[in-house]
Amino acid sequence: MLGSLAGLGTLAALAAAGCAAPSGVGSGQTRLRYWHLFGGGDGANMAAMLDAFQAEHPDLDLQAATLSWGSPYYTKLGMAGAGGRAPEVAAMHLARLAGFAPGRLLDPFDLDLLAEHGITEADFPPDLWQRGMVDGELYAIPLDTHPLVLYYNTDVCERAGLLDGDGRLRAIEGADAFAEAVRAAGEVTGGPGLVAETLGADTIGPWRMFNAFYAQTGGQLLTEDGTRIAIDDAKARTVLDYMRRLTQEGLCVERADYPGAVGIFAAGETGFFINGEWEVTTYTNNGLPFSMARIPNLFGTAATQADCHAFVLPHQRGRGGASNEAAHAFVAWMLRHSVDWAAGGHVPAYLPTLEEPDYLAMRPQSEYREVIDEVVLDPRVWFAGSASPLWLELGAVFSGVLLGTRTPEDALTEARHRLQQLLDTPSPFGETA
């Protein structure tokens, strides 16, 4: 997707022209422009937080813009940074940082300014904070992590004998135990006990499932420096064989695109749903009897696939002064108020929030908060992260395993081939950090 930025240099002037409004026109306020890509329930939560921030900061003129999710957003953000006259602050997926040429398209945060507003490294999981660091400088601050989780229909699971005395899902350990739990749920519903995204245009669900299970084996996709394939064939085959088992044995709905999977679980047709946690608002509003848990430990650890929403400072020529101070104040305020953001299902990355009574009272949002220490982000390469070429390429390959159109052996061979093609493709930004 970032390949669409190959003509970045020629488009930079256009982006700069589009961001060139004067600061604080006629008001004495400091202008603070913020770009983000949040729609749906996330968009509503973000809008409420922005209104609250503006009400508390009348000296600032907050100008928020919601842009199209995915490739269109990152294309425009990259163009704006290349032009040097970007918005003061923006949202971005943390795993895409390596592809955004920190130091050229992004500016680093001022750690002293952040500290003045009460934000320090100690407030975050070490791994997530370090993912925002490049060459000793901080280029991204995590707002949350949004992991792959396990939704469960509490009525179905109760009838299947899968809940404990508190109405929570009993602990499940091991691949066979999970298969049996899914089978038990299916006996209640009269069909597959599990649904997940398995197909569709630009499908990414199969990749996310593979990555979660593969991470649990301790396997790596690429070497630490992101230059070579490091797939452990035996571990990958174990995961792919299991994925095929889920559909082949009728445990998982074989053919479901993303909207279809959401709807199947909403209709009570399955006991379980594997997906990102952001559909919590959908099911809460629909009155579905459900809860959520972290992905069970099937293959050795409790790891799960995830990405993080983060704040970044798109590159501005001559960044500094009141507008830059406002950007830091804004980020700090949003982090300190991230209990409001957690309503949408995301796990706050700002650790003090995880202990707030208002957050702990959120159910099911707080039920899987321990996953903050187990999330696995993509390798640090330009083609990784949410809505990235990595997700789309491997999502298409592993979809075939779930559908039975590819054998696990063939899928592994094709995954290696596509990974090598991505490794051989230069970053559209040239050399990145």
pLDDT, tens digit, for every residue of 186-219? 999 999 999 999 999 999 999 999 999 999 999 9
Average pLDDT, integer, range 387-398: 95
Q: Sign of dihedral through CA atoms 18, 22, 26, 31?
A: positive
Average pLDDT, integer, range 105-109: 95
Residue 313 C-alpha from the chain's centroid: 19
- Burial class (CB within 10 angstroms; exposed 0-12, middle 13-18, buried 19+) of 197: buried
Q: What is the pLDDT of residues 212-226, one digit of tens each?
A: 999 999 999 999 999
Q: What is the pLDDT of residue 430?
A: 61
Beta strands, E only, 183-296: 194-196, 272-276, 290-294
In the block, tokens 């993303």 appear at: 258
**Helix, strand or coil for residue 83?**
helix
In the block, tokens 């039920």 appear at: 367
Q: Which residues contact 116 (CB under 8 A, 6 or more apart)?
A: 328
Give me 373's structure tokens.
Answer: 């220490």
Q: What is the pLDDT of residue 387?
A: 85
Q: What is the pLDDT of residues 145-161, one digit of tens each?
A: 999 999 999 999 999 99
> Domains in the chain, ordered, with CATH?
2-145+307-370 (3.40.190.10), 148-306+378-424 (3.40.190.10)
Q: Are 305 and 391 in contact (CB under 8 A)?
A: no
Q: Are 100 and 108 in contact (CB under 8 A)?
A: no
Confidence of residue 431 (pLDDT cuts 50, 70, 90): low
**Helix, strand or coil for residue 324?**
helix
Q: Are 290 and 145 in contact (CB under 8 A)?
A: no
Amino acid (one-letter) located at 416: R
Average confidence score pLDDT of the chain: 92
Angle value at C-alpha 224, between 381 and 300, nearest 5 degrees: 110
Does the pTM of the predicted model rise above 0.85?
yes
Residue 309 has pLDDT above 90, yes or no: yes
Three-state helix/strand/coil letters over 33-44:
EEEECCCHHHHH
Average pLDDT, integer, range 12-34: 58
Per-residue CA distances from 151 to 16, 154, 190, 292, 304 (Å):
44, 9, 19, 4, 14
Average pLDDT, integer, range 375-393: 94
Amino acid (one-letter) located at 417: H
Q: Are 195 and 256 in contact (CB under 8 A)?
A: yes
User: Within a 13 Å sphere around the CA of 418, how many CA atoms are in the beta-carbon half?
Assistant: 18
What is the Cα–Cα distance from 128 to 121, expressed in whole angstroms?
10
Q: What is the pLDDT of residues 262-281, one digit of tens each?
A: 999 999 999 999 999 999 99
Q: Are 36 and 66 in contact (CB under 8 A)?
A: yes
318-323: list long-range contacts, CB under 8 Å, 24+ apart. 319/107, 322/30, 323/23, 323/30, 323/31, 323/32, 323/88
What is the Cα–Cα distance from 92 to 119, expressed in whole angstroms?
19
